[in-house]
Structure 1
Amino acid sequence: MSFRTLDLNLLRVFDQVMAEQNLTRAAERLAMTQPAVSNALKRLREALGDDLVVRTAFGVKPTPRAEALWPDVRSALARLREAIDPTVFDPETSEASFRLAMADATAATLMPPLVADIEQQRALVNVRVLPLTTRDPRMLLEHGEVDFAIGYFPDAVAALSSQGVNATLHHERLWDDEYVCVMRKGHPLAEGELTLDAFCTAHHLLVSFSGRAHGFVDQALAALNRTRRIVLTVNQFFTAGRVVTHSDLLTVLPRQFVPATGMARELAIQPLPLALQGVHVEVLWHQRHDRDPAHRWMREHVFAAAARRPQTLLASAS
């Protein structure tokens, strides 16, 4: 491959295909036909000597070479856009696409006011909420798999804070919360004081994005030389609410997320009988997007939505 003869427009097509992982949607975003997108990918494959993407039942899947290349391509294109057109982002004419990784309860809390803002401004932007599968989303952001990660990421935030100005990721706190013990109403432990002995003797449900049957509560219990019996591990707060409502399992959730289970009226909340660090919900993004007008626009609306998240949810969680 000779860079001097490479058609740089092919990189724009590659960037959009990687973002959408679907040729039809990428063609729509680029205002091209699908055959034209396929032809552009073919030319780029020939230039790079790699398949770049392979077809699947649901779209296309990037090759390892494509995944390694995409962050640099996306960053370079963003810098070029900013240099050529540094104007203020116009949401009514731009069809920018944003990928937000977050848990189901975070989305239920944040998305209603965010969508209301987008609709009020008649914005043409497209927002996709992706499932969060890790407590440390740094690699997702570094590899350009998502534009924002929103949630409680204590290890990632601590690492970024220690790096200071050398950090390649930025973060901003959206709100604070606390962990509580949640069970069905009428549960034997729903009334009176919940003791540590009773908590450890009971059977538990754990919400774990990674699937590991060990979490913050278990770390805190280990420091006290105590353990608990985890019967079930799930990866959604909504699922946790449904299961706990119809069983004698206990679970530990952020207080403000209880309404997002959809079962708040059927659940009882007890203070935890052990000390846990508070929950700090943060938004993380890569510095390659920091000065991009579209990305700044979305960040501002994420901040505003966090400040305006439904007060009815907060009241019912109190």
Structure 2
Amino acid sequence: MQNLDLNLLVVFEAIMTERSMTGAARRIGMTQPAVSNAVARMRQVWNDPLFVKQGRGIRPTPYAERLWEKTRAPLLEIRDAASGDQFDPGKSGRVFRIGVTEYPVDMLWLPLRKFLEQEAPGVSLHSVPLHGNTEELLLDASVDLVIHYYVGRHKQIRSSWLFNNHLVCAVRPGHPMLQSLKSGDVLPLEDYLAADHLMVSLTGAASANVDSILRRQGLARRVAMTVTHFAAIPPLLMQTDLVCVTPQAVVARAVKAGELVIVPLSFEIEPAPISLVWHSRQDRDPGSIWMRKLISDFATVEAKRLADYFLRG
């Protein structure tokens, strides 16, 4: 790779990030023919096709994936170093890739978007799904930030507490379980254990914090159904006799509309601390600092609003 034009790496990074020639052109302010010409030069320099068509998009070759693994973190550091110490949200066209699950999106994306439309219209938020791979995504620079439960101690990973993820037990208003529940009472444990349970599983495992609590008492529940996304929970609960322990944010709208009710349990489930997590390479990056503060501020407001609503309920 003697006499390599470093501009090719800029185009390569944009294509790998966007997984689209059109998206890459838009990202770096080039025409699509110019990007295509750059790809042709890359293929000659690296003696590899690099990208092949897949449906309406493109798929990197194994060589391109290996090259991306080696270059993306250094490219990010170079870009951050060259950007200087200034960040103007009102003029920025920066794309922030954030690793996140559904319920923080439900909590934060609408107020964040409303703010960005007014104060930073060129800034974009792209959600990246999580599968227990927080450190991997941050270490290889696949994301800028992560919003998730994080208890790791990697020396290059930073974290800051955002809010506590409180869990509630929800069922439909006419659920048979409610017949044994008097006003002000908690649900008898035997009734809870006898129910058919619904849970979200991002990994495929049919076990959650509730199951760990029950196991310590020598007990178990029947997980009758698992789903891979939180949005499936309210409609399933509304139309079946399933029972689900889930984050407050997932069922808040349905509870407010009277479509679901909260059932007090006879045992406590400790809330999980949700953190904002980032790589140390972005400790001093002005754009990252701005986005971290923005997310933190909105998380504080939305978590308090949610807590106040359930306390009133």
TM above 0.5, yes or no, is yes
Note the C-alpha offset of 1:260.
Answer: 5.3
Cα pair distance change 1:305/1:138, threshold 3 Å: same
Output the CA distance in 2 between the equivalents of 1:310 and 1:274: 23
Cα pair distance change 1:275/1:69, threshold 3 Å: farther
Q: Does 1:169 align with 2:157?
A: yes
Q: Does 1:146 align with 2:137?
A: no
Deviations 1:276-306 (A, max 9, x none): 3322111222223332222222222111221
Deviations 1:75-97 (A, max 9, x none): 32333334334131122222111
Cα pair distance change 1:168/1:260, threshold 3 Å: farther
8 Å CA contact 1:245, 1:263 repeated in 2: no
Residues matched between the structures, number: 306
1:54 equivalent in structure 2: 52
Find the residue that maps to 1:317 and give its secondary structure.
helix
8 Å CA contact 2:255, 2:261 repeated in 1: no
Which letter does structure 1 place at the counterpart of 2:60? P
2:174 equivalent in structure 1: 186
1:242 equivalent in structure 2: 235
Cα pair distance change 1:74/1:275, threshold 3 Å: same
Deviations 1:70-118 (A, max 9, x none): 3553332333334334131122222111122322221111112211221
Find the residue that maps to 1:212 and give its secondary structure.
coil
Indicate the larger mover: 200-209 or 89-98: 89-98
Deviations 1:168-198 (A, max 9, x none): 2221111113222111112232333212221
* 1:220-259 correspondence runs (5 A): 220-259=213-252
8 Å CA contact 2:90, 2:119 repeated in 1: yes
* 1:97-116 correspondence runs (5 A): 97-116=95-114
Q: Does 1:22 align with 2:15?
A: no
Output the CA distance in 2 between the equivalents of 1:310 and 1:217: 22
8 Å CA contact 1:183, 1:248 repeated in 2: yes
* 1:65-104 correspondence runs (5 A): 65-70=63-68, 72-104=70-102
Residue 274 of structure 1: which of 262, 267, 271 is its match? 267
1:286 equivalent in structure 2: 279
8 Å CA contact 1:238, 1:261 repeated in 2: no
2:297 equivalent in structure 1: 304
Find the residue that maps to 2:177 and give its secondary structure.
coil
Cα pair distance change 1:302/1:202, threshold 3 Å: same
1:219 equivalent in structure 2: 212
Output the CA distance in 1 between the equivalents of 2:200 and 2:83: 45
Give the fraction of aligned pairs with identical amino acids, expressed as a percent: 35
Cα pair distance change 1:200/1:310, threshold 3 Å: closer
8 Å CA contact 2:73, 2:140 repeated in 1: no
Output the CA distance in 2 between the equivalents of 1:282 and 1:260: 24
Output the CA distance in 1 between the equivalents of 2:255 and 2:72: 38
| Structure 1 unmatched runs, 5+ | none
8 Å CA contact 2:92, 2:120 repeated in 1: no
Find the residue that maps to 1:302 and give its secondary structure.
helix
1:117 equivalent in structure 2: 115
Which letter does structure 2 place at the counterpart of 1:282? S
Output the CA distance in 2 between the equivalents of 1:260 and 1:173: 25
Output the CA distance in 1 between the equivalents of 2:279 and 2:70: 12
8 Å CA contact 2:21, 2:32 repeated in 1: yes
Which letter does structure 1 place at the counterpart of 2:50? L
Find the residue that maps to 1:225 and give its secondary structure.
coil
Find the residue that maps to 2:262 and give its secondary structure.
strand
Output the CA distance in 1 between the equivalents of 2:198 and 2:273: 22
Deviations 1:43-85 (A, max 9, x none): 2233334433332224222334433433553332333334334
- Provide the TM-score with structure 1 as the length reference: 0.86
8 Å CA contact 1:241, 1:262 repeated in 2: no
8 Å CA contact 1:258, 1:264 repeated in 2: no
8 Å CA contact 1:105, 1:260 repeated in 2: no
Q: What is the RMSD of the two structures over their aligned residues, measured on CA atoms?
A: 2.3
Which letter does structure 2 place at the counterpart of 1:61? R
